Chain A
């Protein structure tokens, strides 16, 4: 089944075509990498898909539903969980609270529930605390449960971001440079987690600027350059693609 479909997206800033007629599909339960150098349009594509920017032209479908012009929070609720290139956490509140904010409530998050301190709210809250603790366990951050998020190391922040996204239980994960700035061992951990997610049936689309890193990690690679899609295929196909080699030759060898 097609989880995400992007059709003819265009977005221009100050005369520069950040995203220039891009189309692709992401199948359910696949791991796809969106690759390209800085300025190739990857993050803009993410912003468009997650609703933080609106396209000048084109459409976006999530599991068949047109989400092109919806509010970003609605898109998040419909099932897109995204991370940010410069990691957006909630710095001064605890890690646990950070994860709790990703979990869903039936009625517990309502103003009325808060005002009246309903039993329902307290029950949902207790359940969610348990779920949040499990998630922190999964990413290995249980010990830091009550620390403010700003006290974490870079690698720990990436893990927390992942835990928060997991809490959302999204239909598709949009990870913006999940392994950037990590030491090799942390990189392996993160990529391992991504594989584990795939085994659990999740769909993952992630951004990476280093083509080499994704050759083993992704099942499909989409390559962008100056806002245009120049290639799409399996790692093997990409490795032999002339366009891609032209762009990357001189930068790195495959």
Chain B
């Protein structure tokens, strides 16, 4: 029984990790909450549906097309909404409200185009999973876990081992110094939006192999992403891993005690407690305190 919940917990957890990774990386660079990240996730799912189900394109190609377009959406949001705000030196709050605006706009655009009904990426009959020690794990779940792990590792490698990754870390830690060293911070920001949004899009597709696709799926997702980031420590990659898995496991292990309807509320209670008492999270960077 516990093993089953653990399996479910890891599946959910890894999806959260992918969302959280992009969100946290973007936060680290622009120091603002990219709430619209949730809708990039949703778009990934809908694009996957469009290419794979509606247009019957090969699944792997559908996947890559979808995440590429998701990346484009992320870049577009930054270019058309956040970049002007950065020029105006807008406060974090203004970023957040604008981000809400983008979220609302795109979520409803999706609903306008695809309708409000539930869609799915699943094709064919539901296959029975593999039995391990009294628990069941389906092929889909295995796929999700492995894909997520691969994507996480690829991202980690990119950040730690490549030249681009070094530049990203430089701009994140010391924007002025990076500029002096000749790094174009706007290009780096664009790159991070591309990567983060691709991850979100991927998360959207992967989760849709297991659950339903609906226009409001982005809301719950970004909510979890934010909470996982704050628990794990916003702006930290290991923090994203920890926060995402922690949240996924906590949700599933506690599920028999809490009714499903309360999940969002519980998540927000946790968020508010962290915001009030431990905003730097478990592993994260200290948030900037107001200078006197």
Contact = CB atoms under 8 A, between A and B. Distances in A.
Contacts of A47: 292
A50 to B, nearest CB: 9
Interface in B258-292: 291-292
A84 B292 CA distance: 7
Contacts of B291: 86
A47 B291 CA distance: 11
Q: What's the interface size class on B, roughly?
A: under 10
B292 to A, nearest CB: 5
A185 to B, nearest CB: 30
Nearest to A176: B292
Interface string B152-181: 000000000000000000000000000000
Contacts of A86: 291
A86 B290 CA distance: 13
A61 interface: no
Nearest to A46: B292
A98 interface: no
Nearest to A52: B292
Interface in A107-157: none
Interface residues of A, number: 6
Contacts of A53: 292
B180 to A, nearest CB: 20
A43 interface: yes
A35 to B, nearest CB: 19
A47 B292 CA distance: 8
Nearest to B291: A86
Contacts of A43: 292
A86 B291 CA distance: 10
A118 B132 CA distance: 78
A84 B218 CA distance: 44
A86 B292 CA distance: 8
A237 B291 CA distance: 35
Contacts of B292: 43, 47, 52-53, 84
A92 to B, nearest CB: 13
A47 B289 CA distance: 15
A42 to B, nearest CB: 12
A99 B291 CA distance: 23
A53 B292 CA distance: 9
Interface string B175-218: 00000000000000000000000000000000000000000000
A75 to B, nearest CB: 14
A77 B175 CA distance: 41
B257 to A, nearest CB: 41
A222 to B, nearest CB: 20
A43 to B, nearest CB: 7
A203 B292 CA distance: 23
B168 to A, nearest CB: 25
A84 B290 CA distance: 13
Contacts of A84: 292
B94 to A, nearest CB: 15
Interface string A76-88: 0000000010100
A43 B292 CA distance: 9
A60 to B, nearest CB: 16
Interface in A43-102: 43, 47, 52-53, 84, 86
Nearest to A85: B292
B39 to A, nearest CB: 33
A166 to B, nearest CB: 22
Contacts of A52: 292
A188 B145 CA distance: 71
A133 B291 CA distance: 32
B91 to A, nearest CB: 13
Interface string B35-54: 00000000000000000000
A95 B291 CA distance: 24
B290 to A, nearest CB: 10
Nearest to B286: A14
A53 B289 CA distance: 13
B280 to A, nearest CB: 13
A52 B290 CA distance: 11
A118 B26 CA distance: 52
A60 B291 CA distance: 22
Interface string B126-158: 000000000000000000000000000000000
B198 to A, nearest CB: 37
A43 B291 CA distance: 11
Nearest to A88: B292
A103 B292 CA distance: 23
6 contacts: A43-B292, A47-B292, A52-B292, A53-B292, A84-B292, A86-B291
Interface of A: 43, 47, 52-53, 84, 86
CB-based closest 6 A-B pairs: A47-B292, A52-B292, A84-B292, A43-B292, A53-B292, A86-B291
